[in-house]
């Protein structure tokens, strides 16, 4: 069934629902930053959408901002083919961090981007492509078969189509992957011509070192760039300042504090 857009949906509502469709959750401060308004104004907008059953609030942890997700009616109103996101508390910190990186990417922190695609969008489009017998467009093959016999693919958190013509994958690395998994991912990036550069935003120096060593073993140290989160990292609502580790490419250099 082809989704249909709700003509009664206002542009004002769509400006909130559209970004929410691309993420599993956003938090109220992120919606405020997106709209360029204060948090109270953003909260009022979101409550109106919740009353219309287009969004849902989640109280995740005591003392942290409310998180918001789009509902199935909200997606139908947009005419979006995506499924309603499922909340995963284990991924909360990562989802919040990716939300801030997405906002930073929109602001041009990693270079002027013609488009920014989230992993949620990438996976949904590839699932549809496979169901239709087409080749997947997104992600990189890791050389393993999944539970249904389909080749497994790794998806970055964000894919930026930079105006410079250099596609940039952005990965938020808050926990260390096993050496084997990291090696498979780096080899996949090494063999994929659709990604020119990969920017890893690492939670600590240990993770940053593992990323850089894996890139070196895969033969792509010049294509993989690492930046560190500041010591405060993601504190409830916001991601800390990024700190450069080594030399970042001109197409992916972040302005200091841009991801706050």
Each residue of 119-138: pLDDT tens digit? 999 999 999 998 898 988 99
The whole-chain average pLDDT of the chain stands at 85
Yes or no: domain 11-87 corresponds to CATH 3.40.50.300: no
What is the gyration radius of the CA atoms in the chain, in angstroms? 18
Decide: 208 and 200 in contact? Cβ < 8 Å.
yes
Mean local confidence (pLDDT), 182-190 = 93
- pLDDT single digits (tens) 101-118: 999 999 999 989 999 999
Buried b (16+ CB within 10 A) or exposed e, 181-211: ebbbbbbbbbebeebbbbbbbbbeeebbebb
> Is it the case that residue 53 has pLDDT exceeding 60?
yes
pLDDT for 139 equals: 86
* pLDDT higher than 90, residue 226: yes
For the chain, the structural domain boundaries read 11-87, 94-252
Q: Predicted confidence band at 143 (pLDDT cuts at 50, 70, 90)? A: low
For residue 229, the model assigns a pLDDT of: 84
211 close to 200: Cβ distance less than 8 angstroms:
yes
| Mean pLDDT (whole number) for 80-90 | 92
Whole-model pTM: value is 0.85
Whether the Cβ atoms of residue 93 and residue 108 lie closer than 8 Å to each other: no
- Whole-number pLDDT of residue 62: 78
Which helix (H) or strand (E) segment holds residue 159: the answer is: strand 158-162
3 has pLDDT over 80: no
Q: Who wins on pLDDT, 85 or 5? A: 85
Q: What kind and span of H or E run contains 99?
A: helix 92-106
Asked whether residue 2 carries a pLDDT value surpassing 50, the answer given is no
What is the CB neighbour count within 10 angstroms for residue 21?
21
Contact 120, 73 (CB under 8 A): no
Half-sphere exposure of 124 (CA within 13 A, CB side): 15
Instruction: Name, of 13-17, 56-60, 149-153, 193-197, the range with top average pLDDT.
Output: 13-17
């Amino acid at each position: 069934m082809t989704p249909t857009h709700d003509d009664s949906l206002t542009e004002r509502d769509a400006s909130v629902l559209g970004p929410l469709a691309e993420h599993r959750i956003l938090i109220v401060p992120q919606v405020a930053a997106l709209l360029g308004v204060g948090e109270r104004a953003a909260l009022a907008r979101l409550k109106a959408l919740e009353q219309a059953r287009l969004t849902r609030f989640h109280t995740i942890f005591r003392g942290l901002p409310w998180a918001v997700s789009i509902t199935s009616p909200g997606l139908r109103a947009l005419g979006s083919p995506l499924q309603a996101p499922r909340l995963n508390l284990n991924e909360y910190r990562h989802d919040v961090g990716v939300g801030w990186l997405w906002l930073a990417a929109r602001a041009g922190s990693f270079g002027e981007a013609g488009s920014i695609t989230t992993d949620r969008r990438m996976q949904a489009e590839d699932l549809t492509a496979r169901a239709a017998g087409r080749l997947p467009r997104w992600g990189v093959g890791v050389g393993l078969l999944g539970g249904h016999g389909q080749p497994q693919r790794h998806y970055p958190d964000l894919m930026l189509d930079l105006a410079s013509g250099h596609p940039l994958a952005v990965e938020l690395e808050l926990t260390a992957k096993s050496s084997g998994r990291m090696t498979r991912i780096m080899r996949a990036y090494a063999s994929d011509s659709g990604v020119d550069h990969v920017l890893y935003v690492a939670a600590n120096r240990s993770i940053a070192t593992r990323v850089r060593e894996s890139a070196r073993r895969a033969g792509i140290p010049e294509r993989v760039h690492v930046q560190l989160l500041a010591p405060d990292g993601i504190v409830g609502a916001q991601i800390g300042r990024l700190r450069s580790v080594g030399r970042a490419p001109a197409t992916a250099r972040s302005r200091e504090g841009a991801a706050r």
